[in-house]
C-alpha cells in the first residue's frame, strides 16, 4: 500500500540519521510517540509540514523530499479506504442476496398492473343522458392547456387596454389612484402578470400586447415594463465576487518560518499571526520552505457564482536563498486537523491537490454564503514566485481572477539547511538552533 511506502521512506531516513525518537522530538518540538506513529505507519499526518521538518533534520536530499511528498499525497488519498472496504463487505453480500427478491417483486407488480385505457373508453357520455345505476364515473374532461393560456393572456391584455383608455380619457392627472403614477403601477403589475404566465402558442393572443400603449402615450411600452423585471436586466459587468487573502497563515507558530537577509540583532521578535504582514514586508522576508495562504471568497450579489477550478502559476524559479531562517514560535505541540489544498512548487506543473478529506472543485458562493480555502505551497530546493488563478462562471459570464499577495506574487524559498533562529518564551533575543 502507498501508506506502507510512505512510512518505509520515513523509517529509512530516521535510521540513517542515527537519532532516537526522543532526540528528534526535542529538535522538532514534537513528542517522540507521535514521531513513532508516523514512522511505523500507524498514522498518516494530515499535513506535510511535520514530515518535511523531520526529513530535513534527517538530512534528506531535495530528491528525497520530493519523493516523500509524492508518497504522502498517495497515502493521504488512500486514508481510510481499507477500513471502508472491510466495513462494506457485508453490505455488498446483502445486496447481492436481495437482488432476486427485488426483481421478482418488480415482475409481480408489472404483471398485476391494469392495462392502459383505450381511446374509446375515455370518451364522455352524452350530457342529456342520465347516468346508469352503478355505472362507472366518466373521467373529467381536461381543458386544453393552450386554450387556457390563450384565455389568460387575452383577459390580462384586455384589462391593461381598459386601464390605458380610462387614463387617457380622465382629465385629472393629480389623483394618486387615477393619475399617471397610479396607472403606471397598475399597468406594470398587469403586464408583469402577463409576462409570468406561459406564452400562448396562438399568435393572435400575443399580438395585442405589442400595441397596448398607443402612439404618443406618456406610458412606457409593455416591452420596457417587462425589461424592468430582474430576469430581463442586462447582465452585470465586473467580477461578481471578492477575494480577501492572508498570505502568511499558521495554526502553530513553529509551523512557519521566514528567511531574512539580516543578522539576529537587526530582526525584531516574532509577531502574532495577525501581525505577520506588517512584520514581513519591511524586512523583505520570504516564507521559508512552505507558505500557507488563506483565501476567503464571497459573492457581491444575489446571483450564484460557480468557482470551477483553482490553478497555480509559477512566475519565476531560482536557487534557494542563502539567508537566515527565523521560526515564528517555539515549543509547539501537536498539529491541528485541517482541510486544505497542497501545492508542490518543485513539480514541473504545480497543481492544487485536495488533502485531509477536502473535496475538489467546483464550489459555489453567494453574497450570504462564502468559502474559505487554505492553500499550502512548499519547496525543498528553490526560490519560487507564484500566484493562483480562480476560474469562475455566473450565468452567461465566465472569467479567471488572479489571486496573489496584494498585487505581488507569493514567494516561497527553501532554506540552506535545517538550522534556524528561535525566540524562546520569556527570552530577550533570538537563539540559534543548530541542525544536523
Which tens digits make up the pLDDT trace of 212-228?
344 444 444 444 444 44
Preceding amide of 426 cis, omega within 30: no
Q: Residue range 131-156: average pLDDT?
A: 49
> How many CA atoms lie within 13 Å of 93's alpha carbon, on the beta-carbon side?
5
Which tens digits make up the pLDDT trace of 221-250?
444 444 444 444 445 567 999 999 999 998
Give domain limits for the chain: 2-81, 241-433
For the chain, how many residues are written?
436
The pLDDT score that the predictor gives to residue 191 is 35
The pLDDT score that the predictor gives to residue 420 is 92
Phi, psi (degrees; rounded to nearest 5) at 231: -70, -15
Beta bridge partners of 411: 385
> How many CA atoms lie within 13 Å of 387's alpha carbon, on the beta-carbon side?
14
- 146 or 296, greater pLDDT: 296
Distance CA 330, CA 137 (A): 86
Please name the residues in contact with 154: beta carbons below 8 A apart, sequence gap of 6 or more.
205, 208
Question: E-strand spans in 182-256?
Answer: 241-246
> How many CA atoms lie within 13 Å of 158's alpha carbon, on the beta-carbon side?
7
Which tens digits make up the pLDDT trace of 101-143?
434 444 433 444 444 444 444 444 444 444 444 445 455 555 4
Choose among 359, 356, 363: nearest CA to 339. Answer: 356
Choose among 255, 312, 252, 247: nearest CA to 285. Answer: 247
CATH number for the domain whose boundaries are 2-81? 1.10.260.40
| Helical pair 32-40 and 2-17, crossing angle rounded to 10 deg | 130
Distance CA 11, CA 20 (A): 12
Is the pTM above the cut of 0.85? no
DSSP state of 126: P
Residue 78 has pLDDT above 60, yes or no: yes
**What nine digits make up the cell of 126?**
352524452
| 20-34 as b/e: b if 16+ CB within 10 A | ebeebbebbbbeeeb
Distance CA 73, CA 342 (A): 9
Which tens digits make up the pLDDT trace of 375-421?
999 999 999 999 999 999 998 899 999 999 999 999 999 998 889 99
Which tens digits make up the pLDDT trace of 36-57?
888 888 888 888 888 888 888 8
Radius of gyration of the chain (CA): 35
Q: Residue range 2-16: average pLDDT?
A: 82
Which span out of 60-64, 75-79, 256-260 was modeled with the highest average pLDDT?
Answer: 256-260
Summary mean pLDDT of the chain? 72
Question: Which residue reads 516564507 in cell numbers?
Answer: 287
Question: E-strand spans in 196-285?
Answer: 241-246, 257-260
**389 contacts 400 by C-beta, under 8 angstroms:** yes
**48 contacts 335 by C-beta, under 8 angstroms:** no
Which span out of 30-39, 171-180, 323-332, 343-352 was modeled with the highest average pLDDT?
Answer: 343-352
| Helical pair 180-196 and 145-169, crossing angle rounded to 10 deg | 170
Confidence of residue 32 (pLDDT cuts 50, 70, 90): confident
Distance CA 118, CA 141 (A): 15
Amino acid at each position: 500500500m502507498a501508506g506502507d511506502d510512505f512510512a518505509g521512506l520515513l523509517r529509512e531516513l530516521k535510521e540513517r540519521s542515527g537519532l532516537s525518537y526522543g532526540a528528534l522530538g526535542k529538535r522538532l518540538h514534537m513528542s517522540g510517540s507521535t514521531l513513532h506513529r508516523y514512522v511505523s505507519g500507524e498514522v498518516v499526518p494530515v499535513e506535510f509540514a511535520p514530515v518535511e521538518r523531520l526529513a530535513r533534520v534527517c538530512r534528506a536530499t531535495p530528491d528525497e523530499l520530493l519523493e516523500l511528498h509524492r508518497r504522502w499525497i498517495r497515502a493521504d488519498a488512500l486514508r481510510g479506504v481499507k477500513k471502508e472496504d472491510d466495513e462494506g463487505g457485508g453490505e455488498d453480500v446483502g445486496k447481492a442476496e436481495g437482488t432476486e427478491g427485488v426483481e421478482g417483486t418488480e415482475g409481480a407488480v408489472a404483471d398485476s398492473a391494469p392495462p392502459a385505457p383505450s381511446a374509446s373508453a375515455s370518451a364522455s357520455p352524452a350530457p342529456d343522458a342520465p347516468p346508469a345505476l352503478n355505472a362507472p364515473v366518466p373521467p373529467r374532461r381536461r381543458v386544453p392547456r393552450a386554450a387556457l393560456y390563450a384565455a389568460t393572456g387575452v383577459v390580462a391584455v384586455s384589462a391593461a387596454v381598459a386601464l390605458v383608455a380610462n387614463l387617457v380619457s380622465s382629465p385629472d392627472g393629480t389623483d394618486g389612484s387615477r393619475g399617471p403614477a397610479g396607472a403606471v403601477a397598475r399597468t406594470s403589475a398587469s403586464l408583469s402578470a402577463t409576462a409570468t404566465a406561459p406564452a400562448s402558442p396562438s399568435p393572435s393572443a400575443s399580438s395585442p400586447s405589442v400595441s397596448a400603449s398607443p402612439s404618443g402615450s406618456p406610458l412606457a411600452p409593455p416591452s420596457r415594463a417587462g425589461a424592468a423585471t430582474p430576469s430581463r436586466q442586462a447582465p452585470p459587468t465586473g467580477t461578481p465576487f471578492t477575494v480577501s487573502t492572508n498570505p502568511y497563515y499558521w495554526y502553530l507558530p513553529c509551523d512557519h518560518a521566514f528567511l531574512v537577509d539580516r543578522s539576529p540583532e537587526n530582526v525584531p521578535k516574532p509577531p502574532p499571526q495577525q501581525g505577520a504582514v506588517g512584520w514581513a514586508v519591511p524586512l523583505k522576508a520570504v516564507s521559508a520552505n512552505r507558505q500557507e495562504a488563506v483565501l476567503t471568497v464571497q459573492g457581491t450579489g444575489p446571483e450564484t457564482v460557480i468557482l470551477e477550478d483553482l490553478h497555480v502559476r509559477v512566475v519565476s524559479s531560482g536557487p534557494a536563498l542563502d539567508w537566515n531562517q527565523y521560526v515564528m514560535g517555539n515549543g509547539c505541540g501537536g498539529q491541528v486537523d485541517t482541510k486544505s489544498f497542497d501545492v508542490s512548487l518543485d513539480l514541473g506543473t504545480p497543481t492544487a491537490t485536495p488533502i485531509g478529506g477536502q473535496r475538489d472543485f467546483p464550489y459555489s458562493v453567494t453574497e450570504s454564503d462564502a468559502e474559505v480555502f487554505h492553500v499550502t505551497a512548499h519547496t525543498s530546493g528553490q526560490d519560487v514566485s507564484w500566484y493562483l488563478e480562480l476560474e469562475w462562471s455566473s450565468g452567461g459570464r465566465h472569467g479567471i481572477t488572479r489571486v496573489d499577495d496584494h498585487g505581488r506574487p507569493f514567494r516561497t524559498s527553501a532554506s540552506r539547511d535545517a538550522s534556524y533562529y528561535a525566540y524562546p518564551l520569556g527570552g530577550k533575543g533570538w537563539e540559534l538552533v543548530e541542525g544536523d
